[in-house]
Amino acid sequence: MGYEFDTVLVETDDGVATLTLNRPDAMNAFDPTMDREFHEAMWLLDADDAVRVIVVTGAGRAFCSGIDLSGGADVFGAEAHEAHDAAQGVDSDSVPDRSAFWTMRTLVIGAINGAAVGAGLTVPMLFDLRIVAEDAKLGFVFTRRGIVPDANIHWLLPRLIGVERALDLLVTGRMFSGAEAVTMGLALKAVPRADVLAEAQTLAREIATSSAPAASGLVKQLVYEFLGETDRKAAFARETKVIWWSGEQPDAMEGVMSFLEKRPPAWTTSKNVELPEDLR
């Protein structure tokens, strides 16, 4: 499948898709076109069974500097957002669904190769894993622009790093480094800037070649689903039913036989496999 866009680049190789935000002269700031193309590309890649993992990075010296502010002061209000969505042919009520990357069965890794501020940081927080440049300048700078943060971050960040640390970062809007992000639990690993993309792609290839697509997708689904489940026994019961069901699928047999025969597995079940009605 070919992927052609104006402001994002998509390359696929052995189950790994690398999506590059490609407005380097604007530090990859989101304008309406890139916003639309980014979301379109993400969901097309999720629907593509040949794509096991998506790696998102930025062209040039930055990952993403947030929303493009070149249009002037009035870029954050309801009218500006409605005009932005209309320009993309998007119903404003559907915007949260477009960014619900946690509902994808495809694992998404952020390769944060440089500065990530504002929406340039909240958006990759919607990904599953993050590799970040040690010296990257990061910040949830919204309060310093007179607004509250976006992209579901008020729900996510306290769960990820605790209430006190979340309030520190969100209320102060202070800048911090990629190395500090790892110590707080915001990112998986911090590496030298030149190594960020390669590190993310190495992890992606390991997942793409070793882990069953359906099983990996279901693990992701259950992890996010159970973030909203307060009944531990109910979660245990549902997990057990999904295990029993997955154990009856062809990939379960293949996983065992490939291990016993000391050969690479040949998975056949789609990452987007549908669970039976009673397990949905």
Residue 56, SS3?
strand
User: What is the C-alpha to C-alpha distance for residues 84 and 126, in angstroms, rounded to an integer?
Assistant: 21
User: Is the fold of 8-208 the same as that of 212-279?
Assistant: no
Residue with tokens 């005009």: 83
Give residue 1's Cα distance to chain centre: 21
What radius of gyration, in Å, describes the C-alpha atoms of the chain? 19
Q: What is the pLDDT of residues 32-75, one digit of tens each?
A: 999 999 999 999 999 999 999 999 999 999 999 999 988 654 55
Q: What is the pLDDT of residues 110-159, one digit of tens each?
A: 999 999 999 999 999 999 999 999 999 999 999 999 999 999 999 999 99
- Does residue 82 register a pLDDT over 70? no
Token representation of residue 142: 């919204």
Q: How far is CA 193 from CA 1, 53, 59, 126, in A?
A: 31, 21, 13, 22
Into which CATH architecture does domain 212-279 fall? Orthogonal Bundle (1.10)
Q: Which fold, 8-208? A: 2-enoyl-CoA Hydratase; Chain A, domain 1 (3.90.226)
The domain segmentation of the chain, as residue ranges, is 8-208, 212-279
265: closest CA among 220, 219, 217, 207?
A: 207
Q: What is the pLDDT of residues 240-254, one digit of tens each?
A: 999 999 999 999 999
DSSP code for 104:
-
Q: What is the pLDDT of residues 228-240, one digit of tens each?
A: 999 999 999 999 9
Record the pTM. 0.91
